[in-house]
Every structure is written in structure tokens, then in C-alpha cells.
Structure 1
Amino acid sequence: MASIRPHKNGYRVEVCVRGQRDSQVLRTHREAKAWGSARETELLERAAKTPAELHTIREAFEKYRDEVSCHKEGARHEALRLNAFVRDFPRLAALTLAEFDTPHLAEWRDARLEKVQPASVNRDVNLIRNVFTKARKEWKWMEHKPFDGLDLPPDGPPRDRRIHPWKEVRPILRALGYVSGQEPRTKQQEVALAWLVGMRSCMRAAEILRLGSDTLSMKTGVARVKHKMQYVTKRPRVIPLPRRALRLLRVVQHREQCFTVDSASLDTLFRRARDSLMIQNLHFHDSRAEALTRLAREVDVLTLSKISGIRDVKLLLETYYRETPEQIAARIAKPAAASRRPAQ
């Protein structure tokens, strides 16, 4: 029962239901008694509900963003995607976890597929699935699995884009003002050097930009950089660098930070140079696949996996190894032709 006591501004009413306390100061005794009765009923109803009935999708997304995503390397991108769900689907975000189920996910999936590619939807699916897993296993906010029974869109075919050394690499380097063998003095020249390093080392753009005196050893030829899953592994990614990549990095090895350009500027400057040359369907990240395709001729698959950090050989083969059947046929035909030459 509510406790009511005189207060200098009227009457203070206090309620306590199963450990949950609340209080309010009201002008008259009658108002205090009415508020106490109503609030007590409200707390009793709340205490009878399960966590899934108390918490909304929005609350779960915000808790995951503020307590889990913030410790990841890709915290900003996860926050943007979670915030976009809440902004673009307010009706779904307002549902409680108990109300939210497979049909609501299907509604969201179909709406998203009208605007983005299946691969983008599947990336969002993985993030939302992680939120629900956390809410179920650790927070104990829910018991059911909304993703059970949901059909996911098939990913499109993997990219098979190769980078042409004469028609694309040289013009882009020229557009960025790159001079071979010289230390870059502009952001554009740094972008060009980073792209070349990517094509020789299999490194991601974010890993290249982290190279510096404390992460790169020219003596051992090894780089140790932070990566997006380090919050789980607690270890940096150790990258053995090919000789050609080390040769490119010599001009910036004396710097505390090899590259001063940030990730957003790198992407903008590269796209600007590409578009000025009217080169189609070329991404900075294609440099990683190009490097893996070239290195596949020189090292075995286990070494390639170690260099790239890709443990899934299927992913390595289907996504990053981009040599065409015609190129393979032309390459394996050369030794056969040479073996048929008459001995001198």
C-alpha cells in the first residue's frame, strides 16, 4: 500500500512493489492517494510481465550499440545500420521483443530488397541476429528465435573484376600524381601508394592505413595491425609481407605513421580519380583480390590463407581468386609447349 506523508509542497507519496520503488510530491492528499493507487497497479502489472514484454526492439538495438558495438573496430558502421533500422522502420522498432517474430523480419527483408542488393540485406541480417542472440543468451530479454524459418536472399555471384595493369593501374596512378620511388607528399599520392601496397600485400585499406613504426618491421617483413575481430581474439593480425610490398613501403618506413590520409578521404580520392578516367566498376578493395590472385601462382594455399587472414578456403577460392578459366588455360599450356621443343 502507498505511504503518504506531509511535505512542504503538499504530500509525498511512496510506493514499493517487489523491490521497485517510486515517489511523487503532489498538492493534495486526494491527488497523492490517487497517484499512489494508480502507480502501484502499474508496477504490479509490470512485475507480472516477462522481460520480452517489457523491452522493445529499439531498446535492444540501442543497448547493443552502446554496450557491444562500441568495442568493435566497425562500431561506427554497426551504429549506422542499427540506427537506420529504428529510423526507417519505426513501427517495427516500437514492437516489444515478445511481439516481434519471423513475419516482421520478412516484412523488413522484403522492404530492404526493394532498395539494396541481397548482400547488403544479409550483412544486416547477421548484425540483427547478433543482437537477438545477445538478448537471449546474456541479457535474458527473450526466449524465442525470430530468425527461425526466415528465408534469406541468396547472395549474388561473387565479383570477378580484375585490374588491368596498363589500362587502369597506370592511368589511375598518373591521375593521383604518383611518382615511383619517391615519398608521397600529397594525400592523392598516399592513396596511390596505398593502392599499390594493397595489390602487392593482400591487405585491406584499414590495415594499410594503420602501418607505422610500431606496426611495421621492415627487418622481419612482418606487419602487426589491429583488425575488426580483435575484440574477440585479443590479438592483432600478423601479416607476412611479400618482397614487392616491402619495396613500395621503403619510402615511408621512416614515418611514425606511414599514411596520414584517413579512410573516408582515401575512398573519396580514389573514386574521384577513377571517375575522372571513366573507369567502370572498380573498387579500392579489388586490390586485395588482385593481390591474392597473383600470389596464388607463387605460394601454396595454406601460405596464401596465412597472408590474407582468410581461413575459409571456399571463400578464398570463390570470392578472392579471380583468374578466369581462359587465363588458367593459357598459363598451363605454356610449360606443355616448352616441353615439346627439340633439345639443342
Structure 2
Amino acid sequence: MAYLRKVKNGWRAEVERAGQRVSATRATKAEAQAWALAEEAAILAGSRGEYPRKTLADAVERYRREVTDLKAKRSPAVAKADNLRFDAWLRNFPDLAAKVFHEITTDDLARWRDKRLQVVSESSVLREAQQFRPIWGLAIDEWGWAGKSPWTKLRKPRKGHARRRSTMWQEVRRLLRSGGYTTLLPPQTPQQEAVWAYLVALHTSLRSGELLRMSRSTVDLRTRVYHLPRHKTDRTAGERNVPFTPRAARLLRRLDAAAEAAGRDAYFTISDQSRDVLWRKVRDRVMIAGLHFHDSRAAALTWLSKRYDVMTLAKISGHVDINELFNTYYRESERDIAARL
């Protein structure tokens, strides 16, 4: 049954059917009535079996086939990360995975959110929610598995503060020395490739997956531009052409010559996963705490900011949102800023 009452900012509609209670406020009485009728119909449809009794696990598997598998053809690393999150979600929350999809409530998702916040950061939970939520959109609009999304009223965790860990050149030198980097020689082993990748990242601000795809056919050493057709934001930003500094060009010339001598196009032979394992081993061996490979992007942009204006930096990094560039990747310490004043 639907109940309507006048409130300060419009009309409040409350619907109670089949043990479910939902409510909303609309500007006019007619809008509130229309909303109430739609909600009542959705609840009754579920209770009368008009939605299939598919579980969340079923929904995830179908979403993988229809969405994630297609993503894998364009961005294999991103698709692999998505699948790992799906696996962990179903494995760590078996009761939720086994629940009938259209019977999952906002309370169910709130319990998932609160348990995750006990072990990971707010940003991680937001990232997972951003991945999981579209399943409901597809299930409602195309599959006919549910009438409404329980995510609509779920309170999002407050986004955590941006990472502030800075990178010191003393740390870089220790990493390079331990990883077998030699100034005049290109990398000879997978471990050396990992530290070379880190050094290139420090001079270009490229992400790991982007720099590992560098090749003789995509890097123009004469104009100092890297053509990057696939990257993290290519769906919205399109292809990128990344300019790089003369210092970065000197590093890339060695990689280019080594690739030519080996008869291959790619500058690097290791995968992103191998690079991660190898780089972590070198980092742990020299006992550098709290440093992530991706911190190289922030370090590069912070150092480049001393020489180039913000619009040039955005062109180098590929940022459309200047606020993200400043708040997330500019990490110069207050002490260093004071020393320049």
C-alpha cells in the first residue's frame, strides 16, 4: 500500500509491500503517486516470480561474459584486475553471492561496505563499488532480473586523502644499484628491465602498463613523442601523443638500440605482473618502506612542475581534470617549497 503526505519540500510517498518498505520525496503529488505505483509494481513483480531466481553469482558470471571479456580484448590488465575483484567478492561474501539477485537490499550492501572498510581504505571500497554497481544497471535494463537497484540509497564512504608519499633520489639510486642498472648498458635481465621501467617512469610520468608497451613503432625519438593508442582513459580521452624530455629520450635511445639489435619491436619483454614482482623484490631488498611503483608518476610530475606550466604538465600526463593533477600527483613537500621561496 502507498501512503502520501505533504512535507516541506514536496510530497513524501511511502510504499510497503511484501515485507519491503521504500520511500521517496517528489516535487508534486502527481509525481509522488507515479513513483509509488512504479515501486509497488516492482515489488509485486518480484514477489510473484516475474523476475528469475538468479543469484548474485549468476549475475557476476553473465556480466563477465558480456562486459569483462570484451574489455579484455582492449585492456587485458584492467580486465584481469576486474576479475580478481569479482573472485574475491564472491569468495569472501558467500551469503551475498548465493542470494537471489532481485532480493538483495541496501542493507545487504551496507554490511558488505562496512566489513570491507575494516580491512581496506575508503578509496578501495569506492573503487570496488564503482565496478560492481553497473551489474544492476544491466540486469534491470536488459536482462529483466530486477526492478530497482539497491545501490541508489547506499551511503558512499568518504573518499580518503590523496597519497602524499614522496620519492627521494637517494632511494632511486639505491633501487637502481641493487637492480643491476648500468648507465651505459641496456637491460640484460628481467630484473634490470624492471628497474629500467621504473627509471623511464620517473622521467616520463607514464603508468607501468603504458611504458611497457613502448616500442620502436610507437616512439618517435626524433620528435620525442610516444603514440599511445590504448591507455587507462582512452574511452573518454581518445588516443594520446605523449611528449617526453631530452633526458628521457637518452634513456629510450638505449632501449631502442637494444630492441633493434635483438630483432624485436618492443622495448621491454616483461609483463606488467612480472615487473611488479621483480620491482617489489628489489625494493624490499634495499629496505625502502612505503614506496609503490606508481609513486613514480607523482614524482615525475612533481619534478617536471618546476620546469613546465600546468597546461604542459596536463599534456604530458594526459589529465583532463587539473584538480586531480594537483591534488593527487603534485607532492612537493612544504620544506622544499619553502627552500625555493
Shorter-chain TM-score above 0.5: yes
- 2:90 aligns to what? 86
Structure 1 contact 289–321 (Cα < 8 Å) conserved: yes
Give how far 1:201 is off: 0.5
Q: Aligned ranges for residues 59-74 of structure 1 at < 5 Å?
A: 59-72=58-71, 73=75, 74=78
Aligned to 2:101, the other structure's residue is in SS state coil
SS class of match (1:146): coil
Residue of structure 2 aligned with 1:121, choices 109, 112, 125: 125
2:292 alignment counterpart:
283
Q: In structure 1, what is the equivalent of residue 267 of structure 2?
A: 258
Residues in 1 aligned to 2:157 and 2:320: alpha-carbon distance in whole angstroms: 24
Kept after mapping to 1: 8 A contact 2:102/2:145 = no
- Show the counterpart of 2:207: 204
| Counterpart among 220, 245, 249 of residue 246 in structure 1 | 249
CA distance in 2, matches of 1:120, 1:145: 21
Q: Which amino acid aligns with 2:295?
A: D
How far did 1:117 drift? 2.2
Q: 1:138, CA displacement in angstroms?
A: 3.8
Matched residue of 1:54: which SS?
coil
Residue 222 (structure 1) aligns with? 225
Match of 1:156 in 2: 160
TM-score (norm 2): 0.78
* 1:49-74 CA distance string (max 9 Å, x none): 333x4332112111111221122221
> Partners of 2:243 and 2:141 in 1: how far apart?
38
Aligned counterpart, 1:192: 195
Q: Distance in 2 between matches of 1:169 and 1:243?
A: 20
1:258 is displaced (CA, Å) by: 0.2
CA apart distance, 1:78: 0.6
Matching residue of 1:320: 329
Correspondence list, 1:135-174, <5 A? 135-166=139-170, 168-174=171-177
Gaps of 5+ in 2: 1-44, 260-264
Q: Does 1:309 align with 2:318?
A: yes
Partner of 1:26: none
2:6 aligned partner: none
How high is the sequence identity, in percent, across the aligned residues? 41
Contact 1:181 1:248 in 2 (8 A): no
Report if the CA contact (8 A) 2:224-2:244 is conserved: yes
Distance of aligned partners of 1:311 and 1:138 in 2 relative to their CA distance in 1, 3 Å threshold: farther
Q: What is aligned with 1:49? A: 49
Match of 2:185?
182
Kept in 1, the 8 Å contact 2:60–2:135? The answer is yes
Residue 109 (structure 1) shift = 0.9
Asked if the contact 2:57–2:97 (Cα under 8 Å) also holds between the matched residues in 1, the reply is yes
What are the superposed Cα offsets for residues 234-273 of structure 1, whole Å, 9 maximum, x if unpaired?
9433212222211111101142110112112211111111
Q: Any conservation in 1 of the 2:205–2:300 contact (CA below 8 Å)? A: yes
Which of the pair has more CA radius of gyration? 1
- Listed one character per residue, the Cα deviations across residues 277-315 of structure 1 (whole Å, up to 9, x for unaligned) are 111101111110000111112222222112111212221
Counterpart residue number, 1:299: 308
Segments of 4+ moved more than 4 angstroms: none
Cα distance in 2 for residues equivalent to 1:170 and 1:158: 26
- Kindly state the Cα deviation for residue 229 of structure 1 after the two structures are TM-superposed: 4.2
| SS of corresponding position for 2:241 | strand
1:21-42 residue CA offsets vs partner (Å, 9 max, x unmatched): xxxxxxxxxxxxxxxxxxxxxx
Decide whether aligned partners of structure 1 residues 153 and 270 sit closer, same or farther in structure 2, where only a CA change above 3 A counts. Answer: same
Cα distance in 1, alignment partners of residues 298 and 328 from structure 2: 8
In structure 2, the CA distance between the partners of 1:138 and 1:316, relative to structure 1 (3 Å rule), is: farther
Q: TM-score, normalised by structure 1?
A: 0.77
**Residue ranges of structure 1 left out of the alignment (5+ in a row):** 1-44, 334-344
Indicate the SS of the match to 2:287: coil
Contact kept in structure 1, 2:240 and 2:318, CA below 8 Å:
yes
Decide whether aligned partners of structure 1 residues 309 and 145 sit closer, same or farther in structure 2, where only a CA change above 3 A counts.
Answer: same
How far, CA to CA, are the matches of 1:115 and 1:151 in structure 2? 18
Alignment of 1:101-116 (within 5 A): 101-116=105-120
Give the 3 Å change call, closer, same or farther, for CA 63–229 of structure 1 in structure 2.
Answer: farther
CA distance in 1, matches of 2:319, 2:237: 17
Shift of 1:329: 2.2
How far off its partner does 1:130 sit? 2.0
Q: CA deviation at 1:210?
A: 0.3
